[in-house]
Amino acid sequence: MTQVFNKDILQGKVAFVTGGGTGITGGVARAFAEHGAKLAIVSRKEENLAAMKAEVEAFGGECFTVAADVREYEAVEAAIAKTAEHYGKIDIVVNGAAGNFLCAADQLSPNGFGTVVDIDTKGTFNVCRAAFDELKKSKGQILNISATLHYLATPMQIHVSAAKAGVDAITRNLSVEWGRHGIRVNGIAPGPIEDTEGMKRLLMPELKDKLVRKIPVGRFGRIVDIENAALFLASDAASYVNGVTLVVDGGSWLLGTSLM
């Protein structure tokens, strides 16, 4: 895909990205760095952080890494504090850390359900809450990575559906409560994105051809589609966009077809 946005649209901004080592959120983090932002990426896994840091530094970007579990508030607070100390501020927070697996509701343990809710929903709140003072100072913004699973119903995904419904509630609530502080809060709900580990793991190859025919625009999404949506929301072009979860799914969920 050709370059859509000017390379400097996030120049001087500091972006704190959870789950920023891999997958969709890793793409968003890298795209932010390619458009001028200084990155802080947070993941439980050191190896994911090191790979993204090397990739970003290879094209001349800056990438600060912090290993932390978003379920642990004190670890999140420390990650925010270290980032603010390192860069002097935080302008953009991206909540991308997530847990996912396929499991039927009657097989899922309460701890399995709670684990995903803890990572996605509580983790998103933890990061927003811990970043509030910094975002208030910078008149910054939050971008929550959500899903479309809960718009209708997605079998085998009750845990993620409940967790992402909670994330969307956080997006709406904080956009109202924190808008007055100059903090914009938005989300992105990716549809079926082809080039992710999640899709490779969740989608059986034999179903792929069948499913692609049900996507209104005739193709699966790509990580770059989410990167471009995130760049728009993070840029000044979206300065009056607040409380929105932008669906980037080629129109898939409107057909009511479970693609995940």
DSSP code for 221: B
Contact stretch for ligand COA (CB under 6 A) within 56-64, 92-100, 125-133, 252-260: 92-100
Beta partners for 83?
A: none
Among residues 206, 210, 211, 195, which one has the least CA distance to residue 260? 211
112 touches ligand COA (CB under 6 A): yes
* Interacting residue with ligand COA among 100, 121, 124, 175 (CB under 6 A): 100
Q: How far apart are CA 165 and CA 147, in angstroms?
A: 8
103 touches ligand COA (CB under 6 A): yes
Q: Binders of ligand COA among 185-214, rule CB under 6 A?
A: 198
Beta partners for 193?
A: 221
Contact stretch for ligand COA (CB under 6 A) within 4-12, 52-60, 95-103, 203-211: 95-103
111 touches ligand COA (CB under 6 A): yes
| Cβ distance to ligand COA smaller for residue 103 or 224 | 103
Beta partners for 229?
A: none
| Cβ distance to ligand COA smaller for residue 140 or 187 | 187
162 touches ligand COA (CB under 6 A): no
Contact stretch for ligand COA (CB under 6 A) within 94-102, 126-134, 215-223, 237-245: 94-102
Q: Is there a contact between 54 and 130 (Cβ–Cβ < 8 Å)?
A: no
Distances (CA, A) of 233 to 25, 102, 169, 205, 229: 14, 30, 18, 33, 6
98 touches ligand COA (CB under 6 A): yes
Sheet with 245-248: strands ordered across: 63-67, 38-43, 14-18, 92-95, 141-145, 184-190, 245-248
The Cβ of residue 141 has, within 10 Å, a number of other Cβ atoms equal to 25
Q: How far apart are CA 74 and CA 58, in angstroms?
A: 32
Q: Binders of ligand COA among 13-52, rule CB under 6 A?
A: 23
Contact stretch for ligand COA (CB under 6 A) within 9-17, 105-113, 129-137, 252-260: 105-113
* Interacting residue with ligand COA among 9, 55, 67, 115 (CB under 6 A): 115
Among residues 187, 153, 148, which one has the least CA distance to residue 169? 187
Q: Is there a contact between 244 and 187 (Cβ–Cβ < 8 Å)?
A: yes
* Interacting residue with ligand COA among 101, 214, 224, 238 (CB under 6 A): 101
Contact flags string 119-158 toward ligand COA, x per CB under 6 A: x---------------------------------------
Shortest separation between residue 202's beta carbon and ligand COA, angstroms:
8
Among residues 49, 46, 58, which one has the least CA distance to residue 17? 49
Contact stretch for ligand COA (CB under 6 A) within 2-10, 34-42, 115-123, 233-241: 115-123
Site for ligand COA, rule CB under 6 A: 23, 98-101, 103, 108-109, 111-112, 115-116, 119, 198
